[in-house]
Structure formats: C-alpha cells, structure tokens
Structure 1
Amino acid sequence: MWQRLELPREPRATDRERDHARHHRQGVPVSGSHRIPRPAVHPERSPGEPGTKPRATAQCGPWMIPRARQAAPALEGPRGCRTPSGRVMSPPPRSRAALAAAAMVIGLAGCAGPRPTGEATRDSLAALAHPAPVPSPVPPDTVVHQPGYRTVKIPDDKTLRTLARELGPARFLLVLKVNRRDSLHVRTGDSLMVPTDTTADLLALSPFPRQVPGARDLAKLLLVSRRVQAFAAYQSGSLARWGPTSTGRESLPTPEGLYHTNWKDKERTSTFNEEWLLKWYVNLENFVGISFHLFDLPGYPASHSCIRLLEDDAIWLYDWVDEWKLDRNDPRRILKPGTPVVVFGAFAYGKKSPWRRLAADSTATNVPLYEIERALNAYLEPPASEAASKPPARADSLSAPSSPSLR
C-alpha cells in the first residue's frame, strides 16, 4: 500500500534562478547560458528500502524552481518532470485558452529578433543621452523656388500674338524679362524661354538671392550683373525688385566698379548722340555719362556703356533711388552720395547667353551669393592695409571713377 509521499523542504531559490524563471515565463531568454545543469537527487533512504518511497527533489526542467514558489506554472518541456524512480509527473490540466496563450507567447518569442549585444546596447543608450542635433528651420524668406522653363519657338507673328494672349499682359511681360527683350525685339524664328509655373511672380523668377547678409547695413543697394544682364535692388539686404538690362557692347562695355546714383531727370538728350532722347535718366558717372535709362532691350548687351532698362523698371528705379546731396557753398563737394551701385561680372561675348539655356538648366542665370559678396568686398570694403596707408579721400563729383580699377 502506498504511503503519502512527502517531499523535503527545498532550499530558497537564488535571485538568478528567480530571474531565469520570470524571463522564461514571459517567453524571453535572459543573458548568459540558456541551460542550467539538473540538480542531483538527495534521497534520505535508499531507493530499494521497503515500506517507503524515496524522498527526493523532483527534476522539473532545467530551472530548478520549486513549484510552490512559482507565481504561475512554468511551461513543461516535452519530457515533463520525473521522480528519482523514473515515474513521469504529469502536468496539471490546463484549459484550451491557457494553452493558446502559451503558444502565442512561444511564437512571439521565436519571431523576435536577436537581442542586441552589450556594445550595441551601450551605443543605443548613448544615442538617447546625446541625440543628434536637429537642423534649424530655414527662414521662409530665404527659400527660393527654382522654376522650370520650356522653349517656345516663334515661327511667325501669329504665334507670338497667340502666346501673348494666352499668357496675358502681366505674364507675357515676365517672359520678356526672362529673355532680356522688349516686345519689339521678338522676331520671326526666335525662341522664348517660358516659365512652366504659371503662378510664379517676379521675385520667384529672380536670378538674385532673396537675402544678402553683407548688405543689411545699407538702406539701399543696386547690383548690376553684366554676366546675366540683370539688376537687383536691395533694401537692408532684402531683395525688393529685379529686372533685365542691356549693358555696354563688347567695344564699349560698362565699366566694372562702384558707382552712386548722382542725379536724375525724366528726359535727357544723350551726350553720345543728340538724336537720342533718354527717359527716366539716372546718372551714375558725371563726366562720361554712364546712367540707367529707358531704351531698347534686344536680348544682348548693346548700349554705349549705359545700362538700358524696360519702361516699368526704369520708372520704378527712378522713384526708388536717392540722389546725392551737394554743398550749397561749393557744389563740387558731395555731402552725401546717392544710392550705391556695384557693377560686376563679365559677359561672355560671342557665346550663347545664359538665359537661352534655361530650358536645359534652370539655374543658368543664377547669381550665387558668394559672387555678390566677392564684389561687395572688392568695392565697398577696401583692404585694411590700403585704408591704413591712404588718407580719407574727399568725396568730389569731379573725381568720380573713370576706370574699373578705381573704387
């Protein structure tokens, strides 16, 4: 007759053993060895002694956790638990829901990727402690939309009239500005670069940057790029307007350098040819007669050193610039110069104009900021050694710059 089997009191499980049991119940292995040797049998009696059954600790899997101390029954292995006599101790019955939950835990544990190594974990913690710097947002006024262009051939006058009607007066004028022409100089056989964005305004099509940090201390500044045949007006470093130009032809190029808007007149006869009436005239060089004024824009540099403008740009510029202030007692002495004007860059005579390549390269007419800053440093800020070796020059209209080397 069988007697009641009393198992001896088992030792307390160590912290490591409890950690193993907890993690394996959750379906997550712990670091270190995945297998622990089975405990040895400690019988109080010989297995063959009659009348009693051996007292031993049941071998219940590799974790050596007393069943009475487990918060939840551990998953049984395929071999179950055995007594020292070899008898298999069947696991307690479980509901189908419990078995399904256990299968799900095992499946999730099997699908989980490998745990990161110690080095990878340290790298992850370091990344959390020192996150990568987030770039500062770009101010909206510095973001320039880069438009695209398409080529429109003008085989006859009818095509030109149709294009002007489809675009409307305002947008057709933008097309003329992009092509550095007026309407009288679009001829049969020409091709025009037309912006693909029908909503782009004048500033969106500007070849100049919206902001020039080096000009923030200047209330007004005019830039003239001979390379791309365009001017730009800046107020405290912000672009206010731009427009096409026609500077001096190859035999009479507009000299590079620093000028000021001296005086202006709504109408003036040209000193080069008395038959030419120059409207919206803004003088830059008092003796040679270099100036801004309204005149033909054929799509290339064609003037006699002056800077030609379209009518709407000539009127706007005439009202915007400041004239010089002279000493009443000595009109030759300038008390305050007018708006500074910097002419820079070099036009590639005899080669394809930059704006004629816009369909293939929408950045062909762009004037980068470094090109502008280089010109400003050359003409607005003389070298320190030169400034220290020379006394301050007298601002006199009679000593206006007559060559590109003078500033």
Structure 2
Amino acid sequence: MFTFSLKKLCNLILLFSVISFSLQCEKGQTFDSQEVQVEKYDSIERINKDSLIQDSVKRNTVVYHDFCFPKKKRDSAMAVFNKEYSQEDQHVILALNRLDLKNKWRADTLSIPDRIDSTLMVYTPFPQNLEILKGVHKIVLFSYKIQAFSVYQNGKLIRWGPTSMGSKAAQTKRGLMFTNWKKKLSISSVSSEWKLPYNFNVQNTLGIGWHQYDLPGYPASHSCLRLLMNDAKFLYGWADQWILNIGGTTVKANGTPVIVFGDYKWGAKKPWKNLSINPKSNNISVKDMNAAIEPNLPKILEEQEKRKAIEASENQH
C-alpha cells in the first residue's frame, strides 16, 4: 500500500508540468510569434551537468540550452526557474538575455549557459584584446546589434555587460562621444517620475547618458544607455569627467571616449536567442570593432594627449 505526502504530491505535479512544457518546446511551438528552436534540457535533473561543464572548460567554450516559458504554463515554468537557480545565478542568466530581475517575467525563452560566471567574462561576445586600442588608456563601446557594451584599457577587455539602448523611434546617436558630467541620482527630463541612478552624461546637448534603469530584453530607452546597477556603479567610478575652466563655461578637456556603433535588426530574432544553436551568434569580430574605432582613433588620441597635458599642468600648480 502506497502513501504520498503532500510534498511528494506537489513534486510530482511540478515534474509533470516541466515535462509537459519541455515537450512543447521540443516540438518547436511558437511563442509570441517567434519560432523557438530548443535542445533537450532537463531543468530539474540537469542530466550530465558535471560532464558538460568539464567538457566546456576543456574546450574553453560555453554550451547553452533554452529554457521555455509557454504562455499556458508560464507560472509553472517560472516556479521551476526560481527553484533551480539562485538570485545570483538568475542575475547572470538574465544579463545574457538582456534582462534584469525586475523584467524576468517578460521572458518567453532564456538561453542558459552550462556554467555560471558572475563576471560574465567567460561569455564575452567582444574580443579579449584589440591591438588598435593599445595606445588608448580608456574607452567604452556600445554595440547596437547585440545590445551590449564593452570596456577596454590599453586594448584589453576588462568588462562587458548588457544594455538597452534607444528604441526604434528614439535611437541612440551613433559615433564618437565623450563622457562629461555625472550625478549619482538624476531625474529624467522626459518624466520627473524616472529616477536615474549613477547617471553619466555622454552627449550634453542631446541629453544622452548611461545609467541604471530597466532592461526589458530589447532597445527601449529614449536614446539613453540603460545598464544594470553594478555596471552603472562601475562605469560611474571608472570613467573620467570633462575638465572645465575655472568659471565652468568652457571645456578644457573631454572625458572618456565612447563609441556607439552598429544597427539592431528590428523585428528579427534577437541574436542572444541563437546561443543554443551557435554559441558565437553574438560575437563581434575584431574586424567589425576596428571598423567602428579606426575612423575615430585620431580624434581619440588627440583628446587623450590634450587631457594628459592639462592634468600635468594642473598638478604642477
């Protein structure tokens, strides 16, 4: 004679729900008008998890799997996701999908890596080194195509992360800009209800800056560069402000160079949703990075030397 505790019964119901929505995903069910292609993945058992991780470490690659949130079983799927992954792990997974914890409910499919790296560096879509930037002390680059930013010091990648740039109707200006003023908490000029932590302005006349704000998984801002809180804090302390004259009316030297480049394919499948099919689907090549940097390099180096001379002069006094 068998007896079941309430806990065992709940676990059986949960397992049945997972199997049900996993089967739906494997059949290529359409969610939100997008065809989802998914590899088999047991979200509870994580079959062969250890061997997958060891194999990926040996190859220095990351394997991704898709986790689906079918419309009819979204709550059940989210319950499994919340149970399976800690908030710290969720933070990493959501960042790879250009989402934050607040907006995880928007997910229909998440690309999940076989190992968690809280720095995100193991997943970088940007080149680790760029010879063209060897003489540039600091620079930040934002890719519209993959909605991500990269930070380089003397050609070495030191950080990257997700962003949400300008929407189709309010696209972020492309090209070279320089950081200027910053404020720990700014109020948006569009709406006084929008609080912008760790705001760093990069285009004064257009009011473009980077700051912490919602990452909904697509370009949604009013031309600013939205970031996760940790990234906004880092860039707030790392980048340089402009140097003004004593009266504060003219600019003596610009701050850190910032380049916004590339184009987002509006209406197409988001590139980070192809990671389970091709782990390199997000990658930006050295050639593409160089193409964005090279036309701006003379101006970047010129401004860098100007700032260096002004800082040296001010230190003497």
- Give the TM-score normalised by structure 2: 0.71
2:236 is the alignment partner of 1:318:
yes
Alignment CA distance shift 1:187-1:169 (3 Å): closer
Q: Out of 272-281 and 251-260, give the one that drifted further.
A: 272-281
Letter in 1 for 2:281: A
Kindly indicate which of the two structures has a greater share of residues assigned to strand: 2
CA-CA distance at 1:275 after TM superposition: 2.1
Question: Residue 189 of structure 1: CA displacement?
Answer: 6.6
Q: Which amino acid aligns with 1:321?
A: A
Residue number among 347, 360, 379 corresponding to 2:296 in the alignment = 379
Classify 1:198/1:262 alpha carbon distance in 2 versus 1 (closer, same or farther; 3 Å). closer
Taking a change above 3 Å as real, the CA distance of residues 179 and 335 of structure 1, as seen in their structure-2 partners, is same
**1:203-352 map, 5 Å:** 203-329=121-247, 331-352=248-269
What stretches of structure 1 of length at least 5 have no aligned partner? Answer: 1-143, 396-407
Number of the residue aligned with 2:67: 152
Letter in 2 for 1:368: S
* 1:177-192 correspondence to structure 2 within 5 Å: 177-187=95-105, 190-192=108-110
| Aligned counterparts, 1:39-118, within 5 A | none
Aligned to 2:120: 202
Deviation at 1:357, TM superposition (A): 1.1
Q: In structure 2, how many angstroms separate the alpha carbons of the residues matched to 1:176 and 1:247?
A: 17
1:157, 1:188 within 8 Å by CA — same for their partners in 2? no
**Partner amino acid for 1:372?**
M
> Could you say which structure has the larger radius of gyration?
1
Q: Is the 8 A contact 1:156 1:188 kept in 2?
A: no
The 1:189–1:284 alpha-carbon spacing in structure 2 relative to 1, beyond 3 Å, is: closer
Change (3 A) 1:223 1:145: farther
2:106–2:216 Cα contact (<8 Å) kept: no
In 1, the alpha carbon distance for the partners of 2:262 and 2:106 equals: 31
Q: Shift of the alpha carbon at 1:196?
A: 1.7
RCO comparison, higher one (Cα < 8 Å, 6+): 2
Deviation at residue 193 of structure 1 after TM alignment? 0.4
Aligned in 2, Cα 1:285/1:191: closer, same or farther, shift over 3 Å?
A: same
Distance in 1 of aligned mates of 2:140 and 2:79: 34
Q: CA deviation at 1:187?
A: 2.4
What amino acid is aligned across from residue 142 of structure 2 in structure 1?
A: V
Pick the structure with more helix per residue: 2
Q: 1:150 to 1:236 in 2, by over 3 A?
A: same
Measured after TM superposition, the shift of residue 311 of structure 1 is 1.1
In the superposition, relative to structure 1, how do residues 210 and 350 fare at CA in structure 2: closer, same or farther (>3 Å)?
A: same
Alignment-derived partner of residue 80 in structure 2? 162
Note the C-alpha offset of 1:304: 0.6
One-letter code aligned to 1:148: V
Q: In 2, are the aligned partners of 1:357 and 1:364 still within 8 Å (CA)?
A: yes
CA contact 1:258–1:380 (8 Å) conserved in 2: no
Change (3 A) 1:279 1:200: closer
Residue 220 of structure 1, CA deviation: 0.9
TM-score, normalising length from structure 1?
0.56
Deviations along 1:135-187, one digit per CA (max 9) or x if unpaired, are xxxxxxxxx93322100013433433432443323322110110000122222
Q: 1:207 to 1:275 in 2, by over 3 A?
A: same
Counterpart CA distance in 1 for 2:110 and 2:63 is: 13
> Is the CA contact (8 Å cut-off) linking 1:156 and 1:189 kept in structure 2?
no
Q: What are the ranges of 5 or more consecutive residues in structure 2 without an aligned counterpart? A: 1-58, 307-317
Structure 1 residue runs of 4+, over 6 Å off? none
| CA distance in structure 1 between the partners assigned to 2:199 and 2:119 by the alignment | 27
Which SS does the other structure have where 2:105 is aligned? coil
Aligned partners of 1:188 and 1:214: how far apart in 2?
39
Alpha-carbon distance in structure 2 between the residues aligned to 1:161 and 1:188: 14
- What's the RMSD between the two structures over aligned residues? 2.3
- Length, aligned pairs only: 242
- Return the offset for 1:248: 0.5
CA shift, 1:314, in A, is: 1.0
